[in-house]
Amino acid sequence: MAPRTNIDKSPVLSRKLGDLPTRPGCYLYRDSEANLLYVGKAKLLRNRVKSYFTAAPKDAKTRRLVARIWDLEFIVCETELEALVLENNLIKEHRPPFNILLRDDKSYPYVKLTWKEAFPKVYVTRKVLKDGSLYFGPFFPASGAYRTAELVYRFFQIRDCDIDIDGKRGRACLKYQLHRCTAPCIAAVSQEAYREQAAEARLFLEGKRDELKRRLEAAMWQAAEVNAYEQAATHRDALQQLDAWFTRQKAATVDQEDMDLYGSAVLDGRACVHRLVMREGRMVDRNEYILDEVEAFDGAVLAEVLKRVYATESVPARILAEVEPEDLELLREWLGSLRGSKPAIVVPKKGDKVGLLTMATENARLALERKFEPARLNEAVLEGLQAFLGLSHVPRRIECFDISHGQGREVVASCVVFTDGVPDKKNYRRFKISNEQNDDFANMAEAVGRRYRRLRDEGKEFPNLVLIDGGLGQLHAAEAALKELGLDHLELGSLAKKEELVFRPGSSEPLRIPKSSPVLQLLQRTRDEAHRFAVTYHRNLRAKRTLQTELTQIPGIGEKGAKKLLQTFGSLAGVREAEVEALRACLGRAAAEKVEAWRRGVPLVEP
């Protein structure tokens, strides 16, 4: 028996269930009044979320939850570990009624290095204080923190005791005998040497693991060679723990500063800005903002977003974004007046902050695709194109032509096909114009005539719109070719590059489509794809001619040598301008001398 749900009543829920990513992340269920009901984590969001609605829940609590779900949100993460930590943070922050709330409100452990002390120590703690120490983590499961601390004791011999170090104790503890501490308490090591040990431990905890891995691997193989397999297994486990330490997650950081991160995505004039909210080192919330009439997410757009957001919300100490906002100092001054001190607004270039920003950007992209699915968007654009051009049918199949040549040589034409607004590459065609001439109009007429004569003779489907790259001259040439074939009923148009004007048969006045319109953008994508396809074919033919008629005519330079020259110097002009030493490095002394003689115009005779 399927569970009772609101899928039929809530079209938003139904649509989102059909568009879930196969990624790790957290999902949030809300009721009809947008109240948060439940937060969960999943290794695969699609499978986990759909399981609530396809099988009958075994317990009464879950049945009550499913019956109240009206909407869902999700946040994608890189790993399941990130999702788990994020789930914990969201539950602590929002305390949803259907989540189990633990009374002890346990937090995750960190490894602490008391760096400011003369003889630093390492131990595991669950509290992060602003005391000048270095904190590494958090760790989940908690055992990972203790295993990491154990590695530090074993390989760097850093102390974990709380005694005052004065070097006057009578004898060291057992850890000195076990080589887990160098015993600064009895002055067995100088302060300088001990701090060098601590510096190495810090490098390890910060991610400089290569040297330690080499030591572990060497110790493992040495133990195996003398049949000390138990000891070798210990080193192997340490290596695995070392790798696990570097599988970081970004849902929590040791940075206790409050900060907001802004990632963005842009699609067909719309932008989605995703804001991740970090408070006291934990990701506690996220927000999405949809912007219209945005061609690119630049500093001006970011500045407007920040002004709108913080007009009603508290300002964090740090703001991270992909770009620097416009009027940065003026914006910081205004935000500082709201907060009491100026926030830092930075564009991270490396480290964990880049990973957090990537997470925000990925969620923005997914949200934008979720809200404006390409299929629905393309349908609206095609209907708009029909209205703009006055077409009799929605142009679900568009074929676009372009001509490419080099001063009348290697004249080619391309025909690209767009089906439902997206490239249909298996139906692309290219033409080598039979009568090469520097006449774009005649060349266009030949390409169009050859294409539709074949479609007509084979009884195949015609396009809803034939688009020509060019102005009135190219349009008239294509129109004449179709009329000669008895196909003048086909819808025809051309797009002129200079001002992006659209011409239609029977009208000398062009159509001006707004530059921000997705309709014009579709025509431009189609035209640009036809141009790319034609230019690529032309360049291939030109390279083949250059290879066969220029370089291969040099006595002693065959196709293999000519190809090597073109690969090395890029073009025939590059070969002509190359240094003699470069030619020798490419072909060898004897062949290079023949190329040099050819460049000087000295006649060569094949021996």
Does pLDDT of 392 surpass 60? yes
Query: What ranges do the domains of the chain cover?
Result: 11-94, 110-209, 259-371, 379-537, 550-600
Q: Residue 234, Cα to own-chain centre: how many angstroms?
A: 39
Q: What is the CATH number of domain 259-371?
A: 3.30.420.340
Give the confidence band of 7 by pLDDT, cuts at 50, 70, 90.
Answer: low
Question: Where residue 372 falls among pLDDT bands split at 50, 70, 90?
Answer: low
Judge whether residue 445 has pLDDT over 90: yes
Percent of the chain topping pLDDT 90: 18
Distance from C-alpha of 523 to C-alpha of 393, rounded to nearest angstrom: 16
**pLDDT attached to residue 588:** 86
Q: What is the pLDDT of residue 234?
A: 65
Tell me the average pLDDT across 212-224. 79
Cβ atoms within 10 Å of 476's Cβ, excluding its own: 19
- Mean pLDDT, rounded, for 6-16: 71
Query: What is the mean pLDDT of the segment spanning 53-71?
Result: 80
Look at residue 448 in the predicted model and tell me its pLDDT. 95
* Mean pLDDT on 34-61: 84
**C-alpha to C-alpha distance for 420 and 406, rounded to whole angstroms:** 33
**According to the model, what pLDDT value does residue 134 have?**
85
Predicted local confidence at residue 61, as pLDDT: 73
Phi (first) and psi of residue 344, to 5 degrees: -85, 130
Q: What is the pLDDT of residues 139-164, one digit of tens each?
A: 766 677 888 888 788 777 889 888 88
Query: Three-state DSSP class for 3?
Result: coil
Q: Please determine, for residue 36, whether its predicted confidence score (pLDDT) is greater than 50.
A: yes
Q: How far apart are CA 568 and CA 553, in angstroms?
A: 19
| 231-240, 400-409, 518-527, 581-590: least confidently modelled range | 231-240
Q: Is-same-fold flag (259-371; 379-537)? A: yes
> pLDDT category, 102, cuts 50, 70, 90?
very low
Q: What is the pLDDT of residue 356?
A: 80
Q: Is the pLDDT of residue 49 over 50?
A: yes
| 3-state secondary structure at position 133 | coil
More confident residue, 401 or 508: 401
| Cα–Cα distance measured from residue 522 to residue 516, given in angstroms and rounded to the nearest whole number | 11
Dihedrals phi, psi of 158, to nearest 5 degrees: -95, 140
Q: Collapsing DSSP states into helix, strand and coil, what is residue 116?
A: coil
pLDDT surpasses 70 at 374: no
Confidence at residue 508, expressed as pLDDT on a 0 to 100 scale: 74
Look at residue 607 in the predicted model and tell me its pLDDT. Answer: 39
Query: What is the pLDDT, as a whole number, of residue 400?
Result: 96
Q: Residue 563 carries which side chain, given as an amino acid letter?
A: K
Question: What are the tens digits of pLDDT across the range 455-486?
Answer: 999 999 999 999 999 989 999 999 999 999 99
pLDDT in tens, 533-573: 998 888 877 766 655 556 767 777 777 777 788 778 877 77
Residue 415 confidence (pLDDT) above 90: yes
Instruction: Please tell me the least confidently modeled range out of 100-114, 135-149, 449-463, 508-522.
Output: 100-114
| Average confidence (pLDDT) over 578-585 | 84
Of 86, 78, 73, give the one whose Cα is nearest residue 20: 73
Closest residue by Cα to residue 65 from 28, 98, 101: 98
- Indicate whether 18 pLDDT > 80: no
pLDDT in tens, 244-264: 555 544 545 555 678 899 988
455 burial type by CB count under 10 A (0-12 exposed, 13-18 middle, 19+ buried) = middle
Per-residue model confidence (pLDDT) at position 315 = 87
- Tell me how far apart the alpha carbons of residues 489 and 540 are, in angstroms, rounded to a whole number: 35
pLDDT: which is higher, 38 or 237: 38
Query: Is the separation of the CB atoms in 556 and 591 below 8 Å?
Result: yes
| CATH fold for domain 379-537 | Nucleotidyltransferase; domain 5 (3.30.420)
Q: Which pLDDT does position 141 carry in this prediction?
A: 61
**Alpha carbon separation from 531 to 41, 283, 405 (Å, rounded):** 47, 47, 11
The predicted-structure confidence for 65-86, as pLDDT tens digits, reads as follows 888 898 888 888 887 777 767 7
| Residue among 424, 425, 466 nearest 445 (CA) | 466
Record the tokens describing residue 96, joined without a space. Answer: 């949803």
What would the mean pLDDT of 6-28 be, rounded to a whole number?
79
| Domain covering 11-94 in this structure, CATH number | 3.40.1440.10
Report the C-alpha gap between 237 and 227 in whole angstroms: 17
The vertex-190 CA angle with 186 and 192, nearest 5°, equals: 150
CA atoms 471, 474, 478, 480: torsion sign? positive
Homologous superfamily in CATH for domain 550-600: 5' to 3' exonuclease, C-terminal subdomain (1.10.150.20)
d(CA 118, CA 139): 27
Range in 91-105, 172-186, 307-321, 324-338 with the lowest mean pLDDT: 91-105
Q: Where are the alpha helices (DSSP H) in 425-578?
A: 440-458, 472-484, 518-549, 559-569, 572-577
Q: Burial of 446 by CB count in 10 Å (0-12 exposed, 13-18 middle, 19+ buried)?
A: buried
Q: Is the pLDDT of residue 407 over 70?
A: no
In sequence order, the β-bridge partners of residue 346 are: 320
